[in-house]
Structure 1
Amino acid sequence: MAKPTLFYNAKIILQQTIIDGGVLVENGKIKSVIPAYELLYLDKYDGYTQIDVNQQYLSPGFIDIHIHGGGGYDFMDGTEKAFIQIAKTHARFGTTSLVPTTLTTTTDRLEETLQSYESVKKYAKDGADLLGIHLEGPYFAQSQRGAQDPRYIRNPDPDEYKALIDKYKSIVRWSAAPELEGALAFGEYLVANDIIAAIAHTDAIYEDVEKAHQVGYNLMTHFYSAMSGVTRRDAFRYAGVVEAGYLIDDFDVELIADGVHLPDPLLKLIYKIKGPEKMVLITDAMRAAGTDDTISILGSYDDGIEVLVEDGVAKLKDRTAFAGSVATTDRLVRTMLNLGDIPLIEVIRMITMNPARVMKVEEEKGSIDIGKDADIVILDNSFQVQYTMVKGKIVYRRHTE
């Protein structure tokens, strides 16, 4: 267990306010939050590792619930090394918890990735905590596949998904297109097994989404990306998935807030309509995140798609679609502050408490509160990461790099 730590002289970002003071960490948990006037004399904390935050920000650790890779690795590589290196890479940028995400592929390849996850969770690592697996696909609309491999897109298969869910308890969320044959029964089965049902890569209309919501779909994967808006069929206009996301209050919406996938007018529109309580920032990062690569692979090395990295985003080689982001969570925060023009406390909520609530871990993570995991990020006044702590262990210090 890491030595007890006192962070002091910090601007602490709480759920409703920012205070000057310090945070005591012991046995991997937040032991107390101390106002500045109680820290005039530090002698009583001689038994702690003392870190002067120098009036920088102390934030809850960032939680990324939709991420494919980073540091030159992808979860679809299907190896323990890939999981470990991705977790280490993103910890450098403030991510203290993440949900590894797959791509549309064969059942065999999915199982390789799921098996690797089960193995790597058995021992400690010096990176972000893993919260379970997100299966993105293969039950998608071909017309909205984006960079998903069309060879493997198919309708929900009960024999397939029931077998996977029975075998791998690490599956915590699954994204699918709700208009497909069998998608409603699939959603019901997910909810019955305490798995988050999310809508993605879809050409549904509002009525399809309404039915999906009634059976338990409650999250929209990378809002606006690979989903329908207003469409016309035989001269009649129909509201699409985007409009449903706005109209059905219960939906949380994921935002790839890299400043490329969603320009600032859309960020501001989403904020105006959905509000800060229902917005969840995600990276959707692929393997080139945290690297200087200009050519990369989306998916596994042996069966993935070669992509370009330019303009701060990954693209298909013909530039007809984005192919995931190369963002890190600290970039999401800066984007929402600078382009979204959103208050800091609300931006931090979107990358901490909101994703914790969506993933049902809000009792352990997502805020600086006594008894919660000591997942902490220190940010300078330009919102660059200085320290990352995961469950009481410092896994990144900027000044030692």
Structure 2
Amino acid sequence: MNANIDANENTKVKANMDDPIDSDQIMNPFEAVQLPRVINAAGKMTYLGSSAVRSEVASVMSAASQSYVDMAALKQAIQLRVAELTGAEAACITSCAAAGIIVSIAAVLTGTDLDKVEALPEIKGGKHEVILQKGHAVSFGANLTQMIRMTGATAKEIGTVNGVKPYHLEGAITEATAAIVYVVSHHAVSNEMLSLPEVVAIASKHHIPVIVDAAAEVDLKLYLAQGAALAVYSGHKAIGGPTSGLIIGRQDLIAACQLQEKGYARAMKIGKENIMGFYTALTYYLKEDPQEMADRLKEIVEKLQADIRGCGLTGISTKMAWDATRPIPRLQLIVEQNAAMSAKQLIGRLEQNNPSIRTRNHSADAGMIQFDPRELKIEETRIIAQVIQRIWEG
């Protein structure tokens, strides 16, 4: 049976749910290039475009895109305001978090010496090594170690994937050490790695800056408060802006980050509309009540769970779980081992459907599919349940 649901087919869906939702009611702007609408139950994922910006952000971006501005003055004004909003000494706006990592590494290699900025990836000076724990050498769609090596620096991994001790870090620090990168991410190994305060305590004895990759994290103050010199965020994930990035931290290092526009960052520049979109999204983000947001997301998860359970499908169970480090509830759909279809097969059918339903699949090998509510509209939960039922009973 075809798993696609369209306006006509919706009236024929067999389910004990009243008034099926017409899946074509929501406009698909990508229809012009013959791409299906995507229902995003995966979360703020780069491969899906991360965030759908709020209407206020879109309006500001539209106005900015049709206007002219002195770009240097715009960046200076926005960066000063962002620093005030986040409580950081200074801020630097980038095109994305990956660019922020590269710019941050370049900054510790060059300082504010323009000759050194223009020389990269040739490093003028003795400091060329960047240390990171082996469990933090992640891929987020690209390898973090490559982002480090792009600057000309050497990525120096310490410990093992299941254990890093203080002596590993102490022993790795030499006169060549330029910085330490610390990753906060679901991609990174969390067990048996050194904590950020532990890393900062060791780094500070040797006057080495610690750069935190916190791309998708929600707290804009925690890592600097724990002693990081720089913290790098995505502007289009938790903050909910357009494609953009943010570096906050020490005044001297941020000045070096900003100077990278005369070098590497020129190839990673961000446009006026995205700068204004990011800033607008940030102002709304900082006004949000975390508890209200968690309650809203929980409501969506509970609605999705009720819709799926209402289908009465055998071989499938659901439960709600919370993210380990962020206030994000998710619905876990567990496919039993003896079921007629595996979790991976169900994922494939959901993706092939029109609308294409995308899920969070880090635990698919263990038979679990997760549904993230952050970019999910509550009216889409019924569509998801209908499609799952049609696939499962087909």
TM-score of the superposed pair, with normalisation by structure 2: 0.27
Return the structure number with greater helix share: 2
Where relative contact order (Cα < 8 A, 6+ residues apart) is larger, the structure is 2
Return the structure number with greater strand share: 1
TM-score of the superposed pair, with normalisation by structure 1: 0.27
